[in-house]
Amino acid sequence: MDFSWTDEQRQLRETITRFGEKELNTHLRQLDREKAFNLAGWKKCGEIGIHGLPIPKQYGGGGADVLTTICALEGLGRGCRDHGLIFSINAHLWGCEIPILTFGTEEQKATYLPKLCAAEFIGGHAMTEPDSGSDAYSLKTTAERRGDRYLLNGRKLFVTNAPLADVMVVFASIDRRKGAYGVTGFLVDKNAPGLSVGPQSEKMGLRTSPMSEIILENCEVPVERRLGKEGAGVAIFGHSMEWERSCILASAVGAMERQLESCIRYARQRQQFGQPIGKFQSVANKIVDMKIRLETARSLLYQAGWLKTIGRSAFMEAAMAKLYISECWVQSCLDAIQIHGAYGYMTESEVERELRDALGSRLYSGTSEIQRQIIAQFMGL
């Protein structure tokens, strides 16, 4: 496995890092406090091609392979400190664009992908329900076919981008007696009759990423907006999760690199007892551990991306990357606060916000416990 970047990939990463630093980091404390989505930043990201990175050029995307996409997203995480914006972009990419690309009809691809890639449309993904989270396929939302349309009934929770979404991939069961094999995907437009969106959720972190409940009450979805065949929901959701777990924390690796550099600078500059605090072994050891976490996390990330790039299954490796990077990110954020002391605890430093944003990574796209369960199953346990 050769994970050395080409000059073109390296330049792409550096370009996106500089773009993030320059364009996406203004008024972050205010945006976080007001749980405000950076729509201007969203559109700027679309203009430079972030939203369409892995989508073929014929549908308005960049045609990048998986490793190149990971490289770019790592650069975005290094330059952009607005993790909510990045999280919304990831939900848009892996929860909406990739399912349409892989399972959509040519008409569906032509209708949605160019606008999603250009950031003219905002995409969402609705699977979780009040009684089904980790046990995803036990959902209660139903879809009943009536002539040339389906009627969807149910509730979906924690839907990222829902308050602003133009289209969402929504999962419902056509026959609950079939269990997981009754689950089917649908493309639900924001103006679909019977769709309503609840108030924006209050969250500990990722506050700049809008999230809410959606309610489906005899929500009308034309048959031509069914995604894939009836009962294909398991394949669609599983495929989406492999992509998501392989790529969603690429930005976290970039953030960990930026965080490490910031801690090194602070440890060199901050003086206590007549010397820089980095000279104290207890501080230096934390920074060393941050470096080790960064490099091992990066290796797992690249391994999952490499497997997908060469067309091999990466389901276990994606789970390993998701589990390890999320746990490393949280621990490094804790260490960064400890290194900065009281300053790290203050909102002005923005160090504490990194921790609040990082904590969610152990929950979304499958909790750490679910990732361990997946890995154990691949090991025959």
- The 3-class secondary structure across the chain, one letter per residue, is CCCCCCHHHHHHHHHHHHHHHHHCCCCHHHHHHCCCCCHHHHHHHHHCCHHHCCCCHHHCCCCCCHHHHHHHHHHHHHHCCCHHHHHHHHHHHHHHHHHHHHHCCHHHHHHHHHHHHCCCCCEEEECCECCECCCHHHCCCEEEEECCEEEEEEEEEEEECCCCCCEEEEEEECCHHHHHHHEEEEEEECCCCCEEEEEECCCCCCCCCCEEEEEEEEEEEEHHHEECCCCCHHHHHHHHHHHHHHHCCHHHHHHHHHHHHHHHHHHHHCEECCEEHHHCHHHHHHHHHHHHHHHHHHHHHHHHHHHHHCCCCCHHHHHHHHHHHHHHHHHHHHHHHHHHCHHHHCHHHCHHHHHHHHHHHHCCCCCHHHHHHHHHHHCCC
The pLDDT, as a whole number, for residue 281 is 97
Please confirm, yes or no, whether 244 is among the known catalytic residues: yes
Q: Which residues of the chain have pLDDT under 70?
A: 1-2
Fold (CATH) for 124-231: Butyryl-CoA Dehydrogenase, subunit A; domain 2 (2.40.110)
Mean pLDDT over each residue of the chain, to the nearest integer:
96
Homologous superfamily assigned to 249-378 = Butyryl-CoA Dehydrogenase, subunit A, domain 3 (1.20.140.10)
**Start-end of CATH 1.10.540.10 domains in the chain:** 7-122
pLDDT in tens, 85-97: 999 999 999 999 9
The pLDDT, as a whole number, for residue 128 is 95
pLDDT in tens, 99-117: 999 999 999 999 999 999 9
**Start-end of CATH 1.20.140.10 domains in the chain:** 249-378
Q: Which CATH class is domain 7-122?
A: mainly alpha
pLDDT over 70 for what percent of the chain? 99
The pLDDT, as a whole number, for residue 3 is 72
Active-site option among 244, 257, 317, 352 = 244
The pLDDT, as a whole number, for residue 1 is 65
